[in-house]
Amino acid sequence: MAQSDKIRLMTKIARMYYTQGISQTEITERLNVHQSTVSRLLKRALESGIVRISVTAPGGVHADLEEAIESRFGLREAVVVDSVSNNEAQIVRDIGSAGASFMELAVRPDQVIGISSWSLSLLEMTNAMHPAKTGSGSKVVQILGGLGNPGAQIHATHLTQRLAHLIGGEAVLLPVPGVTSSAEAKEVLLQESYVRAATKHFEAMDLVLVGIGAVEPSRLLASSGNVFSSQELSQLRKQGAAGDLCLQFFDSEGVPVHTELSERVIGMSLQQIKKAKRVVALAGGKRKVEAIRGALRGQWIDVLITDSWTAKAIVNRA
């Protein structure tokens, strides 16, 4: 076949397939050519520029930012939600709403799901979710001690129990402080049967949901009482701490910052978190940029759900 005839046939097949919506099987029948020929010519039409496919993202969709974060940090998935406000409370609500949509597809029956206790983003996520019962037979495990100031403690308990109710699973609470007074106190509490019932799940999680904390604690965490003193936080900064997952700190490169403070935390360790099949972090806002970058660079998380302003800041600094 002459080259001009090949180009004509390639163009005809491309128009039939892409413009008229005719299937490859029907093109094969109409033109009396082999289906492998149709497939090969469609591929060549793309390679030669006869066919050019463009995807135009509608307003409020940030596919370019998602792809930039995924490629630069080796992330499994980034979800960037449009946020029309610089207000931190609104950003948290927007991220929580995106997290709720993500969970509709992420939850499966008979999973072990870990959820951190003191994250406003996770709290907003559960508030935005609708009952779906897609996680029947699943266990929702509190992965950071949920006892604290009574006024704030109700949020930690509500977070775990509500998620379990929404997906049709069973809540497994960790009814101890997230931060103990000493390493010795922690060891005593770890021997309690109800604590062992929760922590036994830490080594084998299907899905872990976390917030990413800055060194300066959030309003919810501070009100819970599960915080370190100002002197201890100052020492963490001097050692390069940039953020934390479940009060386990890392620096701007994602390298763990080991101090005696870690020995007072009852919750999943960074290594236990990393063992989970999928780790999903909800975080955003100016205060969290360095912490989020540290978590990404350390590859402690698999999925990041954040806002567009934060995503731009992360990409630009990278």
Q: What is the CATH number of the domain that holds 270?
A: 3.40.50.1360
Tell me the whole-structure pTM to 2 decimals: 0.83
Do 261 and 216 sit in the same domain of this protein? yes
Query: What confidence tens digit (pLDDT) does each residue in 181-220 have?
Result: 999 999 999 999 999 999 999 999 999 999 999 998 877 7
Do 40 and 106 sit in the same domain of this protein? no
Q: Is residue 79 part of a domain?
A: yes
CB atoms near residue 126 (< 10 Å):
22
Do 24 and 157 sit in the same domain of this protein? no
What pLDDT does residue 32 have? 83
Q: Is residue 91 part of a domain?
A: yes
Which domain, by its residues, includes 83?
63-317
Q: Is residue 36 part of a domain?
A: yes
What pLDDT does residue 178 have? 92
Q: Quick check: 56 pLDDT over 60?
A: no
* Integer CA distances (angstroms), 144 to 200, 231, 246, 314, in order: 13, 23, 6, 27
CB-based contacts of 196: which residues, under 8 Å, 6+ apart?
Answer: 190
Q: Is residue 120 part of a domain?
A: yes
Cα separation, 137 vs 273, in Å, equals 22
DSSP states along 36-54 = HHHHHHHHHHHHHTSS---
Nearest one of 224, 234, 243 to 288, comparing CA atoms: 243
Do 301 and 177 sit in the same domain of this protein? yes
What pLDDT does residue 54 have? 66
Do 271 and 199 sit in the same domain of this protein? yes
CB-based contacts of 95: which residues, under 8 Å, 6+ apart?
Answer: 81, 83, 121, 124, 125, 282, 283, 284, 305, 306, 307
Structural domains counted in the chain: 2
Query: What confidence tens digit (pLDDT) does each residue in 242-256 have?
Result: 999 999 999 999 999
Q: Quick check: 119 pLDDT over 70?
A: yes
Do 141 and 258 sit in the same domain of this protein? yes
Cα separation, 24 vs 17, in Å, equals 7
Q: Is residue 7 part of a domain?
A: yes
Q: What is the largest CA-CA distance in the chain?
A: 84
Do 282 and 224 sit in the same domain of this protein? yes
Give the CATH number for residue 39: 1.10.10.60
Cα separation, 51 vs 15, in Å, equals 9
Q: Quick check: 10 pLDDT over 60?
A: yes
pLDDT grade for 107, boundaries at 50, 70 and 90: very high
Do 124 and 21 sit in the same domain of this protein? no
Cα separation, 169 vs 49, in Å, equals 51
Q: Is residue 164 part of a domain?
A: yes
Do 135 and 92 sit in the same domain of this protein? yes
Q: Is residue 69 part of a domain?
A: yes
Do 17 and 90 sit in the same domain of this protein? no
Q: Is residue 67 part of a domain?
A: yes
First-to-final CA distance of the chain? 52
What pLDDT does residue 57 have? 56
Q: Quick check: 124 pLDDT over 80?
A: yes
Query: What confidence tens digit (pLDDT) does each residue in 141-155 have?
Result: 999 998 877 766 777
DSSP 192: S
Mean pLDDT to the nearest integer, 216-225: 77
Sequence length of the chain is 318
Cα separation, 299 vs 73, in Å, equals 8
Do 99 and 238 sit in the same domain of this protein? yes
Do 231 and 307 sit in the same domain of this protein? yes
